[in-house]
Amino acid sequence: MYIGVKAVVPQENYKLLLTFENDEQGIFDMKPYLDFGPVFKVLKDPRLFNTARVCFKTVTWANQADIDPEILYPDSVIL
């Protein structure tokens, strides 16, 4: 299911508070993804992790890493 992201707020412990296009909010845990190659490993630096922003309905970081909404929505804990 493709539901885009319209807002992101980085949280402690490599979690993201997401607001989706359907106005649901969820918490997405990035920890399991931080070892998926060099582009994600550098996000272990909290300063870089906290650069998370929304771009084209997904989450992206200053190092150009991004993660697909098709992963973000189903794997988030909806609040």
Rounded CA-CA distance 38/57 in Å is: 23
Residue partners of 60: CB distance under 8 A and separation at least 6: 52, 53, 54, 66
Q: How confident is the model at residue 2 (pLDDT cuts 50, 70, 90)?
A: confident
Can you give the residue ranges of every domain in the chain? 5-78
pLDDT digits 0-9 by tens, 30-42: 999 999 899 999 9
pLDDT digits 0-9 by tens, 43-75: 999 999 999 999 999 999 999 999 999 999 999
- Which CATH architecture describes the domain 5-78? 2-Layer Sandwich (3.30)
b vs e for 17-47, b when ≥16 Cβ sit within 10 Å of the residue's Cβ? Answer: bbbbeeeeebebebeebeeeeeebeebeeee
Structure tokens at 65: 């890493």
Half-sphere exposure of 7 (CA within 13 A, CB side): 9
